[in-house]
Amino acid sequence: MKTPEPIKRFADLFAELPGVGPRQALRIALYVVHKGNGFASGLVSALSGLRSIKICERCFNLYEGGNLCEICSDASREQDVIAVIEKETDLLSMEKTGRFRGRYLVIGDMRKLGVLSSEQKIKLRSLEEQIKDLFGGKAKEIILALNPNPVGDVISSLISEEMRPYALKITRLGRGIPTGGEIEFADEETLGEAITRRG
């Protein structure tokens, strides 16, 4: 039996998502069909809504509306304390702790050991320019909030070397997070302690 074309198109697209292979994508397509038209319409609307998402020109976080994301535009936050993180889910995890009142730089996926991608280098240049323009050349603190694993350690060293002239202090999260762990999956208390005990 031939798979109906709409199901095949859906499955082909969803198979490109991280962690979703062709069989899982087909299961998702079948699930959506069995949930009915109301569910499918809601899914279409949610996917369509993603088109309104922007990338903040200051921190490269995803947001909706305005010129800057709500963290970068919040005057009550310490704008000269900047946490360099890998991905948006790390930012969400850090925000849940309620212990960090600075802002962020989302550096992007760190797949290659010991190498900053050209896009990551551009983001660091952007941060350097912001520090020059907004803080007279020196941020109060740059926190390297990258996963405590070999790749995170190497990339942290590269970023630390690059950003040393632009910060009064460069720190890393405390080791409340186990080596090899991921910030995204740390519980709020553990991550909160890592933020508090950074050094």
- CATH number reported for the structural domain that contains residue 9 in this entry: 1.10.8
* Alpha carbon distances (Å) from 100 to 57, 80, 143, 145, 169: 21, 12, 11, 11, 16
* 92 and 121 belong to one structural domain: yes
* 46 and 136 belong to one structural domain: no
Average of pLDDT values for 21-46? 93
Residue with tokens 């798979």: 3
* Alpha carbon distances (Å) from 181 to 37, 54, 60: 41, 29, 24
| Percentage of the chain exceeding pLDDT 90 | 65
Q: Where are the beta strands (DSSP E) in 90-182?
A: 103-106, 141-144, 170-172
Give how many domains the chain has, as a whole number.
2
pLDDT, one tens digit per residue, over 98-123 is: 989 999 999 998 876 678 889 999 99
Residue 178: per-residue pLDDT: 66
**Which long-range contacts link 63-70 to residues 24+ away (Cβ below 8 Å)?**
none
What's the Rg (C-alpha) of the chain?
A: 20
Residue with tokens 């925000």: 95
For the cut 80, the answer to whether the pLDDT of residue 95 exceeds it is: yes
Residue 33: per-residue pLDDT: 93
Could you tell me the residue range of the domain that residue 10 belongs to?
5-53
- Note the pTM of the prediction, 2 decimals: 0.77
Residue 177: per-residue pLDDT: 65
* 41 and 138 belong to one structural domain: no
Average pLDDT, the chain: 89
Q: What is the DSSP letter of 142?
A: E
Residue 2: per-residue pLDDT: 82
Distance CA 18, CA 29 (A): 16
Number of H helices, E strands in the chain: 7, 6
For the cut 80, the answer to whether the pLDDT of residue 190 exceeds it is: no
